[in-house]
Structure 1
């Protein structure tokens, strides 16, 4: 079952899609990366794997259509981790009151700049966020908030994405809670190589099963 999900953040409304399988064991909120949206084939593929493993998924746009259009040239808003994290926190709070996922343990899946927003949100809602997975993320953009993240964090990076790999290694050392780094052989930043995105989805499902179960 997939239903529309929207949140208001100030004067801006952002849209999402909430999919809830039968007997859902938890709910995972996706924080998309720069220039992406809830229609991203990569995030939809990961979400499908999570749904097959009995997790509800919320894919929603951290920026409105108007903001995306205005931001296309400069890219200022898509790198504003504070703004994106605020919207993610609002979604977390709304889900806590939203049937049929009320009371389910919650995790966050962040990609690219969305990973920074996910980690900041985890620091702001430590009692609500039980686990975080980052795919090709920029956790360094979470800044001082890294020291407030106590949830278990899985950082997934492509072996050929060397700069981002270094940033993840450095950011991981600043996290307050347990964390692991998974380096996917042969993968670049977008995990477009055969089999690499499937490896991401399987690892995310295992991580959430372990920590949301």
Structure 2
């Protein structure tokens, strides 16, 4: 069952949809959207994790007023410092909530949200168990910050997204984490928007294998 939760950050109220973990040892994934997407965008990823009992929180990082401004200026979606601070507030919320206190928390970011997720991991290193970045923009994170991150991280990039693929390769080399991997999805472009299910299926499988690999979620 979905629960509507509002995250307070400074003078802003950010709405989100929370799905409680359905398995005892499962953690929570916070979805970090980027490039103008909303909490309704990553449903296909949420579905596969949800089917394994993983909890998740789909959060709108911009208020409706900010969304309207960003449609014209397009600058807020690239303000990963602001976005990461808001994600950190969401982490703090679940770290203090009686129902979720002590559960591992992972971050899933797409496009500019991938950069925001990495920056959040640097802000909350002890509370962030893993980061998955889909077609992310880790180049928005300063190299010294990348070098300081020890969080297990998976970069997923389409093979045809050549510019972003190179940016992710550079970030992979700079990242301080000992547990890091880049998964290239053959034939896919930036956010795997091709028709059909092949790329989506590969992406789902990669994400699922990663969260199991790093031990964030234990099924069984």
TM range (shorter): over 0.9
Match of 1:133 in 2: 132
Write the deviation string for residues 51-83 of structure 1: whole angstroms up to 9, x where unpaired: 112210111011111100011111111100100
Match of 2:211 in 1: 208
Is 1:155 aligned to 2:155, yes or no?
yes
Structure 1 residue runs of 4+, over 6 Å off?
none
Indicate if the aligned counterparts of 2:192 and 2:199 stay in contact, CA closer than 8 A: yes
Indicate if the aligned counterparts of 2:132 and 2:155 stay in contact, CA closer than 8 A: yes
Match of 2:190 in 1: 189
Across the aligned residues of Structure 1 and Structure 2, the Cα RMSD in angstroms comes to 1.1
Indicate if the aligned counterparts of 1:53 and 1:205 stay in contact, CA closer than 8 A: no
CA distance in 2, matches of 1:209, 1:98: 24
Write the deviation string for residues 22-66 of structure 1: whole angstroms up to 9, x where unpaired: 2251111110011100011xx111011111122101110111111
- Aligned-residue offset at 1:5: 1.5
Report how many residues are paired: 211
Match of 1:77 in 2: 76
| SS class of match (2:141) | helix
Q: What does 1:24-103 correspond to in 2, within 5 Å? A: 24=24, 25-40=26-41, 43-103=42-102
- Aligned-residue offset at 1:120: 0.6
Structure 1: unaligned runs, 5 residues or longer: none
Indicate if the aligned counterparts of 2:21 and 2:28 stay in contact, CA closer than 8 A: no
Structure 2: unaligned runs, 5 residues or longer: none
